[in-house]
A and B are shown apart, each in its own frame.
Chain A
Amino acid sequence: MARWELHKFRVEKNNNILNFETEIIIPEFYKVITVVYDGKQLIVRGSELKQDYVTTYEIKSKLESLLDSPLIKELSKHSRKQEYRRSFSLTKIDVYPEGTLANLRYGYNDKYLEFGSVLVIPPYKDWDTLCKVPLTVETNAASNVKIFYELLTEICRLAVRIKTDVNTVNEILKILLQKLVFKEI
Chain B
Amino acid sequence: MDTIHCSNKSIQSFYMQTKVKEPIYIGGVPTYDLYLEKYSDERYLYINGVHAKALLVGTHYQMIEPILFEYFDEICQLFDGNADIVVDNESYLPVSIQVNGKYVLMIGHVGTTFTMNTELGLDDIRHIRTRFENVFKLKIVPLLKKVGLYG
Contact surface of A with B, Cβ cutoff 8 Å: 130-140, 142-146, 148-149, 152-153, 155-156
Q: Is B29 positioned at the interface, with any CB of A under 8 Å from its CB?
A: no
Instruction: Show 11 residue pairs from A and B whose CB-CB distance is below 8 angstroms, ordered by the A residue.
Output: A134-B119, A135-B118, A138-B116, A142-B114, A148-B116, A149-B93, A149-B129, A152-B126, A152-B129, A153-B122, A156-B126
A132 engages B123 (CB within 8 Å): yes
Min CB gap B29→A, angstroms: 32
In the complex where A145-B107, A148-B107, A156-B122 touch, is A136 in contact with B117 (Cβ < 8 A)?
yes
Min CB gap A131→B, angstroms: 4
B125 engages A152 (CB within 8 Å): yes
What is the bound-complex CA distance between A130 and B129, given in angstroms? 18
- Taking CB atoms, residues of chain A closer than 8 Å to B107 are 145, 148
Residue of A138, A148, A155, A156 with most chain B CB atoms under a 10 A cut-off: A148
- Which residue in chain A gives the minimum CB-CB distance to B113? A140
- Which residue in chain A gives the minimum CB-CB distance to B117? A136
Cβ-defined partner of A137 (8 Å) among B90, B116, B119: B116
Not counting A131-B122, A132-B121, A145-B90, a sample of 8 additional A-B residue pairs whose C-beta atoms are within 8 angstroms of each other reads A131-B123, A131-B126, A133-B121, A134-B119, A138-B114, A139-B114, A148-B116, A155-B122
- Taking CB atoms, residues of chain B closer than 8 Å to A132 are 121-123
In the complex where A138-B115, A156-B126 touch, is A146 in contact with B91 (Cβ < 8 A)?
yes
A148 engages B114 (CB within 8 Å): yes
- Taking CB atoms, residues of chain A closer than 8 Å to B113 are 138-140
| Chain B, 95-151, CB within 8 A of any chain A CB | 95, 107, 109, 111-123, 125-126, 129
Q: Is B88 positioned at the interface, with any CB of A under 8 Å from its CB?
A: yes
